């Protein structure tokens, strides 16, 4: 999706357990949902 827009050097840098401790923690775990840092260049 990001490269299709024209970006290059797209990279996933960090991930975060953003939903840990929320009432959606188990749903997030079930679907493998987490926060992530992404960088890309034009």
Residue numbers at the binding site for other proteins (CB under 8 A): 1-2, 4-7, 12-24, 30-42
Shortest reach from residue 26's CB to other proteins, in Å: 11
d(C-alpha 11, C-alpha 24), whole Å:
27
Shortest reach from residue 19's CB to other proteins, in Å: 7
Shortest reach from residue 33's CB to other proteins, in Å: 5
Q: Is 29 helix (H, G, I), strand (E, B) or coil?
A: helix
d(C-alpha 1, C-alpha 11), whole Å:
13
């Amino acid at each position: 999706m990001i490269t299709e827009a024209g970006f290059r050097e797209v990279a996933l840098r960090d991930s975060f357990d953003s939903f840990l401790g929320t009432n959606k923690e188990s749903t997030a775990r079930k679907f493998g949902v987490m926060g992530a840092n992404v960088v890309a260049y034009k």
